[in-house]
Structure 1
């Protein structure tokens, strides 16, 4: 695909309110498809939020939600990326089920858990990266805190990712870290980044939104504010190939020395 249209659906994820969150996403996906989107990114833990006291119970609903997402992706002709709780014994995984036009194109479980907020006590960490072959090209996935570990994004780029999708719940006061790291991952890997952050209050935290679509030169193609919104931008794959030919960073790598 020489070009595609990407969207990010930024909203206030209600803690434990699976039905309300799912209803919001259903309608937002239809709006994104009506705008011609091919690829849609949702926030991290979009179905349930980080409702720690009931995560295991909420995770039991995920299989049914995945089936609905697959049906929506088929009916709306979308690739959909967003993470949900996945059962894993007495803990859960923070998992992206990558839906592609009715099929499950890949699964990614968050590798880096944010110990500052106790994620490591409630979640199991994943151990495999993901670059999926999809109807819109090669899509890599990382989740929120993974953004702070550049070696993971570089692995996805080396494995051929053309777009890295990033569901997140990133709080204040680290807005500039978010913006800087997103642009850095796009620039250093010469690819597109589609990042969807949640927004609004989550207990004592405030999520600031600022979802973004960024091109391989680090230019911001679309950016949300701090409230609920949906952003859309066109990704020009030929322009990415031209930029990589102009500055051939991947050809000039010497990984045997680092």
Structure 2
């Protein structure tokens, strides 16, 4: 496997109640959180899924026009504080809309991931197009894998990113009640089985008929909870230890002991 982490990382999450369709209010909330987290020494900050708009489906065509300017504002903060920022926004391209997670490294856009698994139960597939590739991004902090919300239920995606050298998985989400235990259990499983760090940013509060529980998590490569949010707006921060991750991987060499010749190509 590729060397995945360059150093210990101070990771942060901005959890907040997304104001449906209000880009200006959401941007101000996000920028304020980024400033606070940078002031606490964060090097990596993850924002929730579709954080600038929420799932304002009927307005997404119009709201997508704001995304380039929002990325410019994030890039300025990232440049000024030398941050890596990951967050999901609505993207318009070729007449289609995507739920896209962008990775900005100290002012430069270095990663662009379109959500692969669309949550049909909520009608996401009726309004948005699906992506067609995974995303592991080389950054100044190491290799970061990116997934979005419902992707969490597909472990093959995370194993692929781990094999491609991801040391940290960043997962923006809008994961609603009552599936809190699924959220927590699946996140810990993805960390444990792939021996990597997880930074999962959920939103909180009520949007239309949906009630979001928050519970954003920063997890160690052993699946230990380093920091966990409640149900309200909050900032999380914790340190990902490169030495601890490498020690754990040497103690339980899951990747060395894999038997891919037996697994074959799954149907």
TM interval, short-chain normalised: over 0.9
Q: State whether structure 2 residue 33 is matched by structure 1 residue 35.
A: no
Out of 54, 69, 75, the position equivalent to 1:70 is: 75
**Counterpart of 1:229?**
234
Counting only pairs closer than 5 Å after superposition, residues 48-127 of structure 1 correspond to structure 2 as 48-127=53-132
1:88 and 1:124 in contact (8 A); partners too: no
What is the SS of the residue equivalent to 1:60?
helix
Report how far residue 69 of structure 1 moved.
Answer: 1.1
SS in 1 for 2:255: helix
Q: TM-score, normalised by structure 2?
A: 0.95
Cα displacement string for residues 24-55 of structure 1 (whole angstroms, at most 9, x for unaligned residues): 11111000000000000000000111000100
Distance 1:256 1:93 in 2: 36
- Displacement of 1:83 in angstroms is 0.3
* Alignment match, 2:180: 175
Structure 1 runs not aligned, ≥5 long: none
TM-superposition CA deviations, 1:35-78 (whole Å, max 9, x none): 00000000000011100010010001101111111111101110
Q: What does residue range 10-49 of structure 1 map to in structure 2 within 5 Å?
A: 10-49=15-54
Out of 158, 166, 169, the residue aligned to residue 171 of structure 2 is: 166
- Compute the RMSD of aligned alpha carbons: 0.7
Runs of 4+ in structure 1 deviating by more than 2 angstroms, as ranges, are: 88-91
Q: Any idea what the Cα deviations from partners look like across 1:202-239, whole Å, max 9, x if unmatched?
A: 11110000000011111000000000001100000111
Is there any run of 5+ residues in structure 2 with no aligned partner, and where?
1-5
Instruction: Give the count of matched residue pairs.
Output: 258
TM-score (normalised: structure 1): 0.99
